[in-house]
Amino acid sequence: MKEKNVVTKIQVYSYTELTDDDKKLVDLAKEATNASYAPYSHFHVGAALRLENGVMIKGANQENAAFPAGLCAERSACFNAGSNYPDVPIETIAVIAVQNGEVVEDPCSPCGVCRQALLEFETRAGKPMQVLLAGRDTIYRLQSVKDLLPLSFTEF
Ligand code: THU
């Protein structure tokens, strides 16, 4: 028997250490939480994308009484980008969550389904997508979606 360690690289930033463009994206993700529809979980998630052409796109979680019909913020944003800018790579995604009117303390990390969906956007673009997971003061920066989903399923 052999053991294999899978290494994931995460850089930990404070908001003030981010570039101006990345600060803007985190601010936009926070703004996106205002459009979250979360009457069941009361957990308001916002995502913002910066495309390679400079366009920024917001997404927020949209829940439904038929629970599986709801959609996470990350996929709301990415599917919007895929529908309107199918050939433009996503350079960066920022994610943040608000609960009880406050940004949650720990960085909000995408669910497994969103990781798989994000990975395919990255693979399709053929270049890494930077991921910014924002908490109240701490931002996790990952240089690629591959760092969010090691040992991923892919048929490519
Ligand atoms: N949610 C997201 O929008 N993104 C995530 O990464 C995790 C979870 C949403 C789904 C649901 O509307 C609520 O947060 C609680 O799970």
Residue with tokens 């997508």: 129
Candidate from 61, 93, 131 with most ligand 1 atoms within 8 A of CB, to mutate: 61
User: Quick check: CB of 114 below 6 Å from ligand 1?
Assistant: yes
Q: Catalytic residues, which ones?
A: 74
Q: Higher confidence at residue 152 or residue 118?
A: 118
List the CATH number of the domain containing 35: 3.40.140.10
Asked, for residue 22, whether it belongs to a domain, the answer is: yes
Mean pLDDT of 56-77: 98
Asked, for residue 154, whether it belongs to a domain, the answer is: no
Does pLDDT of 3 surpass 70? yes
Going 72 to 147 to 153 to 129, the CA torsion angle's sign is: positive
Regarding beta strands 90-99 and 138-142, do their DSSP bridges make them parallel or antiparallel, or are they unpaired? Answer: unpaired
Asked, for residue 112, whether it belongs to a domain, the answer is: yes
Asked, for residue 66, whether it belongs to a domain, the answer is: yes
Going 113 to 9 to 105 to 73, the CA torsion angle's sign is: negative
Asked, for residue 111, whether it belongs to a domain, the answer is: yes
pLDDT digits 0-9 by tens, 68-99: 999 999 999 999 999 999 999 999 999 999 99
Asked, for residue 3, whether it belongs to a domain, the answer is: no
Range(s) of the domain holding residue 142: 11-147
Mean pLDDT for the chain?
Answer: 96
Query: How many domains does the chain fold into?
Result: 1
pLDDT digits 0-9 by tens, 110-149: 999 999 999 999 999 999 999 999 999 999 999 999 999 9
- What is the number of H-type helices and E-type strands within the chain? 3, 7
Residue having the nearest C-alpha atom to atom 3 of ligand 1: 72
Asked, for residue 104, whether it belongs to a domain, the answer is: yes
**What is the pTM assigned to this prediction?**
0.96
